[in-house]
Amino acid sequence: MLETTVGSFIISAERNSAAKFSILEVWFGVGTLGFPLLVNYIIKFYEWYFILYGILLFFIFTLFV
């Protein structure tokens, strides 16, 4: 849902929307690839419950923002 909302905002707000949307898609792809790698790194080298704390902090952050 976030990608759709940000994409529609860029298409409606920018003049060269195709190029901007292409850059947006690349960054969403980088985030999609990077997040599981980050989680795997934290689970492997630290403790697995840090991920649960991170998810909890994310949910608390989204409730108040």
**pLDDT per position as a tens digit, 2-57:** 666 777 676 777 677 777 777 778 888 888 888 888 888 877 887 777 778 888 88
Domain-wise residue ranges, the chain: 28-65
d(CA 59, CA 49): 16
Is pTM beyond 0.85 here?
A: no
Cβ proximity of 20 and 10 under 8 Å: yes
